[in-house]
Chain A
Amino acid sequence: MSKFRKDGKKGMPAISTASLPDIVFMLLFFFMVTTVMRETTLFVSVVTPKATEIKKMEKKSLVSYIYIGSPIKRMQASYGSAARIQLNDAFAEVGEIQEFIATEREARDEKEIPYMTTSIKADETVKMGIISDVKQELRKANALKINYSTRKGDY
């Protein structure tokens, strides 16, 4: 430590650290901007079911989300409380899923398309009827890799 200081003092002037905050701020902003959580505003309330045999999702950028659940309180006046599908930032009908998958594919590189996954985030109280419809649509759209979103937990 002391050796260091002696050298520095004798040889060259101390490097100004005044710009260090700027550099760090730049880093800070970079992280703040890039770690934007791509969290769409949910219009449906989703509590995913619990499971133990779960896997982590690998590439987040290749995942498209389909939310299924009953509309949140604020929306129930206009949309009722029956389970609905949400794609991106709006409610959707089952028939719109193929279109949704197509636009999701267009946004990605062609090479990445086979690795794309569709994550079904459905509420645990939802009936299977709507999920089956969604699955059928995904089959039609040839989006066969799916992931039932669950949280870790035992029954």
Chain B
Amino acid sequence: MASTRRGLPEINAGSMADIAFLLLIFFLVTTTMDVDTGIARKLPPMPEEELQEDDSQIHAKNIYVVLINANNQLLVEGELMDISQLRDGAKDFINNNGRDPNSSENPEKAIISLQNDRGTEYMTYIRVQNELAAAYNELRNKASLNKFGERYADLNKTQKKEIRKMYPQKISEAEPKNIGGNE
């Protein structure tokens, strides 16, 4: 120890901090956790054994039936439909306000019923969910632009609540059927 001190001059440790900082920043930048994104949904609670829900009170015209079969084809309100048309179809249905007597009375009563087969591909299912969510989001956006002059995402909590009340997102999922046979 003594010999080194006498021999060479002490190494300047001042720049060590810079090196460490560099490393620190490197780690801070590279360990960005990839943000998880997804479509949030709420499952209905398990029904009580005896208490079966009485769906008969809901008028059939207020229900928008979307069926997906094992071949990933869509049957919407009894008609074959391409997935790209679903968004507009759902929007028309929700925003009908009694114009078409066979469609929903108003957005608050409109319910979208979704049923898939056990053989449906997950991708198709998500796409349908996405289109339905998009239909609601577009309607909400339009309503909030009309009412508050801002996009739905920029509204404050009470304003959002109001818009949500105008367009409640009611997507009901029936238990899947196994028509397609194979799993």
Contact = CB atoms under 8 A, between A and B. Distances in A.
Contacts, number: 152
A131 B130 contact: no
Contact of B43 (A17, A32, A144, A150): A144
A142 B45 CA distance: 7
Contacts of B118: 127-129, 132
B122 A60 contact: no
Given A35-B27, A128-B118, A24 B37 contact: no
A28 B23 contact: yes
| Secondary structure of the A contact surface, majority rule | mixed
- Chain B, interface size: which category? 35 or more
Contact of A55 (B38, B44, B119): B38
A143 B42 CA distance: 9
B127 A49 contact: yes
Contacts of B126: 49, 51, 124, 148, 150
Main secondary structure on B side of the interface with A: mixed
B178 interface: yes
Contacts of B23: 28
Interface residues of A, number: 53
B27 A52 contact: no
Interface stretch (B9-17, B59-67, B105-113): B9-17
Interface of B: 13-14, 16-17, 19-21, 23-24, 27-28, 31, 33, 35-46, 116-123, 125-127, 129-130, 133-134, 137, 175-176, 178, 183
Contacts of B130: 51-53, 150
7 contacts: A49-B122, A56-B35, A131-B125, A132-B175, A144-B42, A150-B39, A155-B127
Interface string A40-51: 000000001101
A150 B126 CA distance: 8
A99 B69 CA distance: 32
B40 to A, nearest CB: 5
Contact of A127 (B37, B39, B175, B183): B183
Contacts of B33: 35, 37, 60
A155 B127 CA distance: 9
Interface in A125-153: 125-132, 135-136, 138-140, 142-152
